[in-house]
Amino acid sequence: MGVRFLFVVTALILLAGCSAEKKAMKSFRYGKYESVIDYYKGISRKDPNNGKANYYIAESYRLSNRIKESEPFYAKAGGKGVNSDSVKLYYAKSLQANSKYDEARSVLEELESDTKDEKMKDRARVELDGINYLDKLAQKKSYYKIKNLEAINTPFTEYAPVYSNNELYFTSSRSNAKIYEATGTPFTDLYKAETNGANVNVNTIAPLPGFINESNINEGCITFTPDGKTMIFAKGNNGRRKGAMDVDLYLSRFRNGEWSEPTPININQPDAWESTPAMSPDGRTLYFSSNRKGGFGGLDIYSAQMDGRGRFGRVRNLGPEINTAGSELFPYVSENGKLYFSSDTHPGYGMLDIFVVNRANGKTVVENLGQPVNSPADDFGMFLFKPDRGFFTSNRDGGKGDDDIYTFVNEDPNLKVVNYYLQGITYMIRKDSTREILPNTMVSLLDAEGEVMQDFVTGNDGKFLFRVYENEDYTLLGETDGFITKRQNYTTVGKSVPLESLKELVTTITLDTILVLDRKERNKIFVLENIYFDYNESYIRADAAKELDKLVTLLNDNSDLKIEMGSHTDSVASDAYNIELSQRRAESTVTYLIKKGIDPARLVAKGYGESKPIARNTNPDGSDNPDGRQRNRRTEFKILEIGALIKKDGEDDDERYFRNELKKNENDNDND
User: What order do you get walking across the sheet with 363-368 strand by strand?
Assistant: 328-333, 339-343, 353-360, 363-368
pLDDT for the residue numbered 237: 59
Tens of pLDDT, residue by residue over 514-552, are 999 999 999 999 988 878 777 677 788 888 888 899 999
Find the mean pLDDT for residues 604-633.
88
* Claim to verify: residue 530 and residue 504 sit in the same structural domain: no
* Claim to verify: residue 366 and residue 240 sit in the same structural domain: yes
* Claim to verify: residue 531 and residue 632 sit in the same structural domain: yes
Q: Which residues contact 502 (CB under 8 A, 6 or more apart)?
A: 416, 418
Assess whether pLDDT exceeds 50 at residue 666. Answer: no
Cβ 224 vs Cβ 231: under 8 Å: yes
The model's confidence at residue 671, banded by pLDDT at 50, 70 and 90, is very low
Distance (Å, whole) CA 491 – CA 527: 25
* Claim to verify: residue 512 and residue 553 sit in the same structural domain: no
Tens of pLDDT, residue by residue over 53-94, are 999 999 999 988 889 999 999 999 998 889 999 999 999 999
From residue 470, alpha-carbon distances to 149, 386, 474, 564 in Å are 36, 22, 11, 41
* Claim to verify: residue 388 and residue 478 sit in the same structural domain: no
Distance (Å, whole) CA 370 – CA 137: 6
Residues of the chain with pLDDT > 70: what percent?
Answer: 92
Tens of pLDDT, residue by residue over 254-266, are 998 899 999 999 9
| Max mean pLDDT range (100-114, 180-194, 228-242) | 100-114
Neighbours of 432 (CB within 10 A): 6
pLDDT for the residue numbered 4: 41
CATH of the domain at 222: 2.120.10.30
Find the mean pLDDT for residues 124-139.
89
Assess whether pLDDT exceeds 50 at residue 360. Answer: yes
Assess whether pLDDT exceeds 50 at residue 7. Answer: no
SS3 145: strand
Assess whether pLDDT exceeds 50 at residue 15. Answer: no
Distance (Å, whole) CA 12 – CA 18: 10
Q: Which of 16-25, 35-44, 364-373, 603-612 has the lowest mean pLDDT?
A: 16-25
* Residue with more model confidence, 602 or 5: 602
Find the mean pLDDT for residues 386-404.
93
- Given 379, 410, 441, the domain boundary residue is 410
pLDDT for the residue numbered 10: 41
Tens of pLDDT, residue by residue over 437-465, are 999 999 999 998 888 888 888 999 999 99
* Claim to verify: residue 177 and residue 310 sit in the same structural domain: yes
* Residue with more model confidence, 532 or 115: 115
Tens of pLDDT, residue by residue over 206-219, are 999 989 998 888 99
Q: Angle CA(653)–CA(656)–CA(662) in degrees, nearest 5?
A: 145
SS3 121: helix
pLDDT for the residue numbered 667: 43
* Claim to verify: residue 163 and residue 269 sit in the same structural domain: yes
pLDDT for the residue numbered 644: 57
Specify the number of domains making up the chain: 4
Interhelix angle 84-97/51-63, rounded to 10 degrees, is 50
Nearest to 345 by CA among 314, 319, 313, 368: 368
* Claim to verify: residue 479 and residue 375 sit in the same structural domain: no
* Residue 671 located in a structural domain: no
* Claim to verify: residue 233 and residue 148 sit in the same structural domain: yes
The model's confidence at residue 337, banded by pLDDT at 50, 70 and 90, is confident
- Given 138, 160, 182, the domain boundary residue is 138
* Residue 19 located in a structural domain: no
Write out the residue range of the structural domain in which residue 68 sits. Answer: 28-138
The model's confidence at residue 663, banded by pLDDT at 50, 70 and 90, is very low
Tens of pLDDT, residue by residue over 215-240, are 888 998 999 999 999 999 999 855 45
- Given 517, 545, 564, the domain boundary residue is 517
Distance (Å, whole) CA 535 – CA 537: 5
Assess whether pLDDT exceeds 50 at residue 665. Answer: no
Nearest to 231 by CA among 243, 213, 246, 216: 213
* Residue 550 located in a structural domain: yes
Identity at 262, one-letter amino acid code: P
Assess whether pLDDT exceeds 90 at residue 501. Answer: no
* Residue 490 located in a structural domain: yes
CATH of the domain at 46: 1.25.40.10
Assess whether pLDDT exceeds 60 at residue 396. Answer: yes
Assess whether pLDDT exceeds 70 at residue 245. Answer: no
Q: Which of 2-16, 60-74, 396-410 has the lowest mean pLDDT?
A: 2-16
CATH of the domain at 630: 3.30.1330.60
* Claim to verify: residue 424 and residue 328 sit in the same structural domain: no
Assess whether pLDDT exceeds 90 at residue 402. Answer: no
CATH of the domain at 421: 2.60.40.10
Tens of pLDDT, residue by residue over 637-662, are 999 999 855 544 444 444 444 444 44
* Claim to verify: residue 212 and residue 65 sit in the same structural domain: no
The model's confidence at residue 139, banded by pLDDT at 50, 70 and 90, is confident
pLDDT for the residue numbered 160: 96
Q: What is the 3-state secondary structure (H, E, C) of 334-375?
A: CCCCCEEEEECCCCCCCCCEEEEEEEECCEEEEEECCCCCCC
* Residue 125 located in a structural domain: yes
pLDDT for the residue numbered 431: 85
pLDDT for the residue numbered 662: 45
Tens of pLDDT, residue by residue over 548-592, are 999 999 999 999 999 999 999 888 889 899 999 999 999 999 999
Distance (Å, whole) CA 650 – CA 339: 51
* Residue 560 located in a structural domain: yes
* Residue 6 located in a structural domain: no
Average pLDDT in the chain:
88
* Residue 7 located in a structural domain: no
Distance (Å, whole) CA 402 – CA 393: 10
* Residue with more model confidence, 144 or 624: 144
pLDDT for the residue numbered 627: 86
Q: Which residues contact 564 (CB under 8 A, 6 or more apart)?
A: 603, 604, 605, 606, 637, 638, 640
* Claim to verify: residue 320 and residue 447 sit in the same structural domain: no
Assess whether pLDDT exceeds 90 at residue 511. Answer: yes
SS3 486: strand
pLDDT for the residue numbered 659: 44
